[in-house]
Chains A and B, each alone.
Chain A
């Protein structure tokens, strides 16, 4: 990685640095001062019980809200100093409930992901078109191109949104529970895609997940929150231990070995 330090992609690879970042609403702390470094070409799972501040942390990283205090930087620069489109070329964010009732075709939606590159006045170049097509091929949404996005099933729609994020060509993907509305089969489909995007495309992914076992199967590292505090930041193998899970969920869990889950499967006792 060191020889490419001049390229913007490489600086971006340095990822997020959080230094005592906190967030509160009307004086009530949602996130207590938190320090961490996030990024580096792998899938990072954000887990924790309900209300632990996972989504808030992700929204802070996506600059959808700004922290109440502390320093949050990305690529060696304070996050607040990035231009809107510059940041969008580096970071793509998928909200938990993407808009519905859009009325555009899948391809049109994916093409909108090129905005950070062509901007409000730039031409939609053949290169933009090619990247749009490529994004749809990578995500397996090519055959949906002409369908109205509102008529797609939940899994298909989620893949179209992921295609838009891919077309955005950002180094870092922030996904807020992309599988919450999907059945198990579609969860596996979407998460496999996310893992492929990270490992084959060299992207960093930060993903909020509800299910510990999904995190165990698809994430490289896990960041666990509880009550707005960071309780674990571990490699997935070290995270999947009874001690660590007890600290996060306050629950006794047993780790069973499993063929498709290298880090094992957690079962409450």
Chain B
């Protein structure tokens, strides 16, 4: 399952390690060379700032880089081996994001906890995030793609919550930003000594697991028949990997991609067998982070303290991941066994129209609520008085319509994407199109000063289209395999996250504007644009209906669909273009993080809709209902304050989703 093509080199990873070491030595010599003589000076009684900086800041920082890189590399190697998944890593499984959110929450609400132990807080967050990811992907038998998609979903969700926290309590979290993006800057030896001690504790159990984990190369069943308790081994290895990652995160913040790239590099360089690849990944991780940090220090000079190395590794790492993708011949089988549970309703009992009618009525009822039920100035709930309607409604209906249009678009896009990929973890948020839109808006913010809403929308659409083009181009070679596209989306999302991290760390106030948009706080709509989006949503639905036959056939699997005469490449391009266009229109309206496109198709499946046509409409309606409800609640629930619409949508959606998955697992 984890085969990586690029024919492994003969010499093993040694040449790569040697090269990296030499490079690190060279960079280190450039950085430290002029200062080294200071060390050999006899301890001067007088205060020597240069010497102090060297001993208490520069050297510990490099030591920290080596320790963190090694821990992350080992953690990634453990995860990849235990899960038999070449894309597993603390970053891709949401472990980092969980720790980051937990520390943010603790900083804000229970600072006492931090005094008690940052490690425990970070560990708790990581463990919860990891548990969530496994719960989400359990029903797909932990197939590689579903695991990664669940991880990304949890990462995005944690990111949304962290963004909201930052918005609400920004002044407390400025430092968390710098830290959250993985700053290695040090003021002494204590932190690195602490980390070294913690890592040392983990080393022994890891060495004990090396040999049993190696047996997993034979496959789970064979390993079991050799007398291995596979589940216990997995849980043990995962726990150790989470420990390694959480210790690192708690010490220096989130450092993305080292844990993913180091083991992959180790294997590409020819490491075979788990013990070799674990060792190589650890060494490569250490060297990678050391190199990255040396480069940052050399490039940024004195301001290096404020440039988080973690953000830089993500900036460099995402393109590397994109480059590696075509080289991974993972059998990314979406394991059609997507739903082995035959408990699913056999359908046919009710006509396919019933769920559509139910959802349509629900949508209308919610729309009426959103328009007519409000909070009085004293906070009590009341119906909008008939006399005020002419004055108030013109402010409400465009917003309600825009929310409905965005919901329709996201819901139907999510449905199309899940059918197309045959993967129930797919969603337009993950495709990277949202990230592209956000990226373009970010650039508009920082280049254009304070652009008008129309300019922002235009920028978002341009960004979405650009990303779509890029993704199509990148995956042309793989015949537009949807899995590849989702992975490309992951890399792009991570890149965006890194950019926002760098900007925020630099203390740029415009970062907050971007954040507020990310959570859908700036949600407003003009009548014209609301109507236009609704018309576009209708068009998208009709276009989607035209492609229904293909979607029906995709249910039989790609091979059977091709054998029946579906032009696979064309069908994929058209459907993906439709999904991307829908996402591009919806994203500027409500922000990229609503999860409507993820939740709506699940709801529809629970209602027992199987045919694609009915499913598309039902999913669109469900998405619209979710966003209309979210918008209404965002306006009323914390009255007189307004909450970000997108955030409320994801806060409503997440429990629904967990409940859905729970129910279906039973």
Contact = CB atoms under 8 A, between A and B. Distances in A.
Contact of B560 (A87, A99, A146): A99
A87 B546 contact: no
A95 B344 contact: no
Interface stretch (A36-44, A106-114, A249-257): A106-114
A244 to B, nearest CB: 32
A168 B557 contact: no
Contact of A115 (B336, B546, B565, B611): B565
Interface string A157-180: 000000010001000000000000
A64 B557 CA distance: 13
B610 A108 contact: yes
A103 interface: yes
B563 A104 contact: no
A88 B559 contact: no
A92 B563 contact: yes
A95 B557 contact: yes
Given A108-B610, A112-B552, A115-B566, A101 B560 contact: no
B557 A103 contact: no
Given A98-B560, A119-B549, A147-B346, A103 B555 contact: yes
Contacts of B611: 108
Interface in B601-615: 610-611
Contacts of A104: 555, 610
B336 A101 contact: yes
Given A108-B610, A147-B346, A151-B342, A99 B556 contact: yes
B344 A112 contact: no
* Size bin of chain B's contact surface: 20 to 34
B17 interface: no
Contact of B567 (A84, A89, A148, A164): A84
A119 B549 CA distance: 8
B564 interface: yes
Given A88-B563, A99-B336, A112-B553, A146 B348 contact: yes
Contacts of A101: 336-340
A188 to B, nearest CB: 25
Contact of A62 (B422, B546, B547, B563): B563
Contacts of A146: 346, 348
A105 B563 contact: no
Contact of A99 (B348, B547, B555, B566): B555
A199 interface: no
B550 interface: yes
B550 to A, nearest CB: 6
B111 interface: no
B340 A64 contact: no
Interface string B557-581: 1011011111100000000000000
B394 interface: no
A83 B567 CA distance: 9
A87 B342 CA distance: 34
Given A92-B563, A98-B556, A103-B555, A115 B549 contact: yes
A151 B557 CA distance: 18
A2 interface: no
A85 interface: yes
Contacts of B340: 100-101, 150
B347 interface: yes
A184 interface: no
A84 B547 CA distance: 16
B564 A100 contact: no
A84 B566 contact: yes
A259 B559 CA distance: 39
Contact of A112 (B336, B347, B547, B564): B564
* Size bin of chain A's contact surface: 35 or more
Contacts of A147: 346
A120 interface: yes
A1 interface: no
A30 to B, nearest CB: 16
- Which among B339, B559, B610 has the highest number of chain A CB atoms within 10 Å? B559
Given A101-B338, A120-B546, A150-B342, A85 B555 contact: no
Contact of B563 (A83, A93, A109): A93
Given A64-B562, A98-B557, A105 B347 contact: yes
B541 to A, nearest CB: 16
Contacts of B547: 120
Given A95-B559, A99-B557, A103-B344, A115 B337 contact: no
A142 B552 CA distance: 21
B141 to A, nearest CB: 11
Nearest to A174: B563
A121 B556 CA distance: 19
B415 to A, nearest CB: 14
Contacts of B337: 100-101
Interface string A62-103: 101000000000000000000111111101111100111111
Interface string B338-365: 1110101011100000000000000000
Given A101-B339, A104-B555, A120-B549, A115 B347 contact: no
Contact of A85 (B336, B346, B348, B565): B565
A124 to B, nearest CB: 9
A87 B567 CA distance: 11
A88 B346 contact: no
- Those 10 A-B pairs whose CB atoms lie nearest each other, nearest first: A99-B557, A88-B565, A85-B565, A93-B563, A151-B342, A116-B565, A84-B565, A101-B338, A95-B559, A99-B336
11 contacts: A84-B562, A84-B566, A92-B563, A94-B560, A99-B557, A103-B344, A103-B610, A104-B610, A112-B552, A115-B565, A148-B347
Given A95-B563, A112-B553, 10 more contacts: A88-B563, A92-B563, A93-B563, A95-B560, A98-B559, A115-B566, A120-B547, A121-B546, A150-B339, A164-B556
Interface of B: 336-340, 342, 344, 346-348, 422, 546-547, 549-550, 552-553, 555-557, 559-560, 562-567, 610-611
Interface of A: 62, 64, 83-89, 91-95, 98-105, 108-109, 112-113, 115-116, 118-121, 146-148, 150-151, 164, 168
